[in-house]
Amino acid sequence: MHIDLEELTKIAVTAAQSAGKEIMNVYRSTDFGVEYKKDDSPLTKADQAGHDAIMAYLKDTGILVLSEEGKDIPYETRKDWDYFWMVDPLDGTKEFIKKSGEFTVNIALIHQGRSVIGVVYAPVLGWMYWGNGKEGGWKQEGGQEPIPLTFPEEDEIKTLVVSLSHQSPETKSFMENYPEADIISMGSSLKFMLLAEGKAQVYPRFAPTMEWDTAAAHGVVLAMGGQVVQVENNRPLEYNKENLLNPSFIASTVALKEE
């Protein structure tokens, strides 16, 4: 299969914008249609509307899709996939319900366990981020011209970004290693985007996440030269595992202290 990263990135950006429009229609309505999954995580009309909008674009690429709101695909079926799209139509459903605006549409292209395209769109804020190995990372605000994303040159940890709703004892312990650092809290995959914009240097995550929560943002950070590594073995976070639950990880744009 011939893969054109630039063309596929454009398609993913358009798909994310389309999903954003559908999600915003629900966001402005009076009925979110909130339901709860078996794990008590919330689901709204916007999750499915976003999924349908994205699928309308990605199906034409001929590349298989693994989506949080799609059907469960057994590992035996997907373990040999070379390329596939990994999608979270609405990351940060709790933030959506709270109307904080800190939720995103996430689309990633995965190749042999690695995120090679990442698209993250925050429709309320009007922020669109994307990245791939050929073009690096980019941000577009509203209808303005896209600007390239680059990490600051200084190798210093000034700011940590942590989850708004998931602060574990391990997170607090990690934060104690950097007593001089400022702390920012934010919802959804926007935490990674603070790294992409140079507003933070490290995002430690010791609470549960799923692969579709991180794949798109990981792709943007990776395209810029950053890293997202597993805490237990310092290896890059991998995708399309048998169990789609992520291990604890640390995303960073600078060198970390040796433990």
For the stretch 87-129, pLDDT in tens is 999 998 888 888 888 899 999 999 999 999 999 999 999 999 9
Backbone dihedral angles phi then psi of residue 21, each to the nearest 5 degrees: -65, -45
pTM score, two decimals? Answer: 0.93
Query: What is the spatial distance between Cα 204 and Cα 250, in angstroms, rounded to a whole number?
Result: 4
pLDDT tens digits, 39-67: 667 677 888 899 999 999 999 999 999 99
Nearest to residue 216, comparing CAs of 3, 15, 1? 15
For the cut 90, the answer to whether the pLDDT of residue 81 exceeds it is yes
Structural tokens at position 170: 């391990």
Amino acid identity of residue 70, one-letter, is G
Query: What is the spatial distance between Cα 220 and Cα 181, in angstroms, rounded to a whole number?
Result: 24
pLDDT tens digits, 228-259: 999 999 999 999 999 999 999 999 998 776 65
Query: What is the spatial distance between Cα 68 and Cα 84, in angstroms, rounded to a whole number?
Result: 14
